[in-house]
């Protein structure tokens, strides 16, 4: 099978790899690049556990082909903390008891980050809408919503 060379940045670091045509970005990141923070829950675009940020947009890595990511800037949850300091969203998820089994958490944080990047001061409805593509089967949605709202407040305080 033909291998396709793909170059992109992952959390700011340059990556170059050959992928089989048809390889999903999810499998590419997990199996080839070694970033296992995006999770495979359904491999059909319904659970949101594989969510990553590509060029500022929230994307499902299980429905994105690696070969379409040439030149892209990709962000995953594993790249959010800087110098051992948690990102405000990570801090808020931790403090708000917003994780149970943790499997949906990286995808939730990605969806929340894109929301706050575009809408720094979201309403509760904005948060619910932004997380609507991410399934938490432990059903801990309420603390997750609170965590995102808390992170938004701490962001605005930092900015002020």
Partner 1 sequence: MELRKSYFADQRKDDLHEIGQPRPRSDSPGHVTGKTAYFADRNLPGMLHLKMVRSPHHHARIRSIDTSEAQVHPGVVKILTAKDVPHNVYTILILIQIGPEDETVLADGKVRWKGEAVVAVLAETERAAQEAAAKVKIDYEVLPAVFDMEEALKPGAPVVNEYHGRNYYLYDSGECRKVRFGDVEAGFAGADHVLEQTYQSSPIEHAPTETTGCIVAPEGNDRFTCYTNTQAMFFTLDNASIILQMPGNRLHFVGGTVGGGFGGKVDVIVEPIAILGAKLTGRPVSFIYSREEEMQISSPRAAEKVVIKDGVMKDGRIVARKVTGYTDAGAYSRHSPYGAQKGAGHYPGPYTIPNVWIDTYCVYTNRTPSSAMRGFGVTIGDFALEVQMDKLARLIGMDPLEFRFINAYRDGDMKAHRQPTEGAALIECMQEASRAANWPVAEKFMAMSSHAKGA
Binding residues for partner 1, per CB under 8 A? 30-31, 34-44, 46-47, 49, 76-78, 80-81, 86, 89-90, 93-95, 97, 99, 101-106, 109, 135-138
Positive or negative, the Cα torsion across 59, 136, 79, 149? positive
Shortest CB 160 distance to partner 1, Å? 25
Based on CB atoms, which residue is closest to partner 1, 1 or 160?
1
Shortest CB 39 distance to partner 1, Å? 7
Please, are residues 111 and 51 in contact by the beta-carbon 8 Å criterion? yes
Based on CB atoms, which residue is closest to partner 1, 66 or 89?
89
Six-digit token string for 138: 């432990």
Shortest CB 7 distance to partner 1, Å? 21
**Chain length of the chain:** 160
Shortest CB 64 distance to partner 1, Å? 18
Positive or negative, the Cα torsion across 31, 32, 35, 38? negative
Give the integer Cα–Cα distance in Å for 25 and 17.
12
Based on CB atoms, which residue is closest to partner 1, 72 or 151?
151
Please, are residues 62 and 42 in contact by the beta-carbon 8 Å criterion? yes
């Amino acid at each position: 099978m033909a291998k396709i060379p793909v170059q992109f940045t992952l959390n700011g670091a340059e990556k170059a790899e050959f992928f089989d045509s048809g390889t999903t970005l999810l499998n590419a990141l997990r199996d080839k690049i070694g970033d296992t923070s995006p999770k495979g829950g359904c491999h059909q675009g319904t659970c949101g556990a594989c969510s990553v940020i590509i060029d500022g947009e929230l994307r499902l890595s299980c429905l994105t082909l690696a070969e379409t990511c040439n030149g892209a800037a990709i962000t995953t949850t594993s790249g959010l903390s800087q110098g051992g300091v948690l990102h405000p969203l990570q801090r808020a998820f931790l403090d708000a008891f917003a994780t149970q089994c943790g499997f949906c958490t990286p995808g939730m944080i990605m969806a929340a980050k894109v929301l706050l990047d575009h809408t720094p001061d979201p309403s509760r409805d904005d948060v619910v809408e932004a997380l609507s593509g991410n399934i938490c089967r432990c059903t801990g949605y309420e603390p997750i919503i609170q965590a995102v709202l808390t992170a938004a407040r701490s962001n605005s305080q930092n900015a002020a």
